[in-house]
Amino acid sequence: MLTPEQEDLIAATAPAVADHLDTITQRFYPLMFERYPQVKPLFNQAHQQDGGQPRALAGAVLAYVGLRQDPQQARGVLATVVSKHVSLGIQPDQYPIVGECLMAAIGEVLGEAVTPEVAAAWSGLYEELAGLLIELEEYRYREFEQRPGGWRGTRRFRIADTRQESAVIRSFVLEPEDGGPVADHQPGQFIGVKLTIDGEPVYRHYSLSDVPNGRHYRISVKREPQGRASRHLHDAMSVGDTLELLPPAGDLTLADGDEPLLLASGGVGQTPMLPMARHALAAGRRVIYLHAALDGEHHAFRDEVAALAAEHPQRLRAVSVHERGDAADHIGRIDRKLLASLLPEDARCYFVGPQGFMTAMDQALAELGVPGERRHYEHFGPSRPLDAA
């Protein structure tokens, strides 16, 4: 519990912390990886390079200064963090590590301004936030463990089948090695995957590209030319090989209701859209399924979506857009004019793809009058504002 004096000290020093956020985070991660190398594999090193993730963690601590008066709002804002943490199996005993290194980085960067009283105030704030995250994460771990087919920690799965979906995307069907049932996920959620590459653990997130079925999960992975995990999955793993999974998580899920849906994706961003479309159609909703790909060769799940459209001719309209070639409904890019011609009245819109794609979608949908609370998206990397394209 922070004292009123500590709250005043935090308010007085928060602007200095905000001004030096980048320097603090640049110091924090190397310090933590040096002191506690055991946590390094949890962090995607490519996200470290582009700066998005480092700023996110320290930025969230700073944002909490303004949020802590409203616990309900704080829980809502922290939902994305909790999802990322849960799908990586973050544990309570790792919080003091982050706290110690964050405080050390703040001390190094702000120097004499960090008196013992200021340090104690920020440590208190960190502990309060850590306590809240630990509580929210434990709730999710316990809830998932208690579901039929759920588990805690990692569970080993076997690749039961693979399928090349496009020139660069391959699906992997994963069945539990123990032969038990598999807990349901919510369509649109992702799962934490733990691979072992050259003897080292490597963690990544992958959206579940099929609806829950009690028997297996499916992920669909784009091979990144220099990517560590995706190249390993594509080039070194096949049917019979095993990997570990952490609990599914994520908040890009269908809001209840019967409004029509616009599900728009660019490239591999299609993966969460497939189960959402299936689920929505089964519930009797109308779906506009808009997918943008580079060309025919890079257009994944074409047959799957066509079969779904044949099953639901009245309620599913599938529209393809390719940047080049002549194998799509539209050639070029999704623009406002195309969206205007497809967008049903009162639609709820979900979109996932590269940052530029999502920024353009968000802007065009806003201009077409879709309010913020009906525009849903997710980054396949650290979350960041869409206007930062």
Ligand X SMILES: Cc1cc2nc3c(=O)[nH]c(=O)nc-3n(C[C@H](O)[C@H](O)[C@H](O)COP(=O)(O)OP(=O)(O)OC[C@H]3O[C@@H](n4cnc5c(N)ncnc54)[C@H](O)[C@@H]3O)c2cc1C
Binding site for ligand HEM (CB under 6 A): 39, 42-44, 47, 53, 56-57, 60-61, 80-81, 84-85, 88, 90, 94-95, 98, 126, 129-130, 133, 382-383
By C-beta, is 304 or 362 nearer to ligand HEM?
A: 362
Interface with ligand X (CB under 6 A), residue from 6, 44, 166, 265: 44
Q: Please list every residue from 207 through 236 that binds ligand X, using CB under 6 A.
A: 207, 220-222, 224, 226-231
CB-CB contact of 204 with 229 (8 Å): yes
3-state secondary structure of 48: helix
By C-beta, is 85 or 376 nearer to ligand HEM?
A: 85
The least CB distance from residue 261 to ligand HEM, in Å, is 23
| 224 binding partner (options ligand HEM, ligand X, none; Cβ < 5 to 8 Å by kind) | ligand X
CB-CB contact of 31 with 105 (8 Å): yes
- Going through 54-177 in order, the beta strands assigned E by DSSP cover 155-164, 169-176
Interface with ligand X (CB under 6 A), residue from 90, 173, 268, 343: 268
Residue 137 bears catalytic tag: yes
Contact between 357 and ligand X (CB under 6 A)?
no
The least CB distance from residue 45 to ligand HEM, in Å, is 8
Distance CA 218, CA 222 (A): 13
Q: How many CB atoms are located within 10 Å of the residue 297 CB?
A: 13
The least CB distance from residue 276 to ligand HEM, in Å, is 19
The least CB distance from residue 378 to ligand X, in Å, is 6
From the candidates 29, 95, 141, 206, give the one annotated as an active-site residue: 95
State how beta strands 287-293 and 316-322 pair. Answer: parallel
The least CB distance from residue 127 to ligand HEM, in Å, is 9
Contact between 172 and ligand X (CB under 6 A)?
no
Distance CA 310, CA 318 (A): 10
| 43 binding partner (options ligand X, ligand HEM, none; Cβ < 5 to 8 Å by kind) | ligand HEM
Give me 195's structure tokens: 């691979």
- Going through 92-213 in order, the beta strands assigned E by DSSP cover 155-164, 169-176, 190-197, 200-207
| 158 binding partner (options ligand X, ligand HEM, none; Cβ < 5 to 8 Å by kind) | none
Could you give the strand order of the β-sheet that contains 217-222, starting from the edge strand earlier in sequence? 200-207, 190-197, 242-249, 155-164, 169-176, 217-222
By C-beta, is 69 or 226 nearer to ligand X?
A: 226
Distance CA 279, CA 197 (A): 35
Residue 100 bears catalytic tag: no
From the candidates 29, 64, 126, 137, give the one annotated as an active-site residue: 137
- Per-residue CA distances from 244 to 46, 235, 306 (Å): 21, 18, 32
Kindly report the CA angle at 254 between 252 and 258, in degrees rounded to 5? 155
Q: Residue 4: is it exposed, middle or buried by C-beta count within 10 angstroms (0-12/13-18/19+)? A: exposed
Q: Please list every residue from 279 through 338 that binds ligand X, using CB under 6 A.
A: none
Distance CA 262, CA 127 (A): 41
By C-beta, is 90 or 233 nearer to ligand HEM?
A: 90
Interface with ligand X (CB under 6 A), residue from 6, 25, 53, 271: 271
By C-beta, is 197 or 331 nearer to ligand X?
A: 197
| 56 binding partner (options ligand X, ligand HEM, none; Cβ < 5 to 8 Å by kind) | ligand HEM
**What's the chain's length in residues?**
389
Interface with ligand X (CB under 6 A), residue from 141, 206, 217, 289: 206
Distance CA 93, CA 134 (A): 10
By C-beta, is 60 or 319 nearer to ligand HEM?
A: 60
The least CB distance from residue 105 to ligand HEM, in Å, is 13
By C-beta, is 175 or 251 nearer to ligand HEM?
A: 251
| 129 binding partner (options ligand HEM, ligand X, none; Cβ < 5 to 8 Å by kind) | ligand HEM
Under 8 Å CB-to-CB from 387, ≥6 apart: which residues? Answer: 359
Provide the residue type at 232 as one letter.
Answer: H
Residues of the shown chain interacting with ligand X in the complex, contacts defined by CB under 6 A: 44, 46, 49, 190, 204-207, 220-222, 224, 226-231, 250, 268, 271, 378, 380-381
- The residues annotated with a catalytic role in the active site are 95, 137
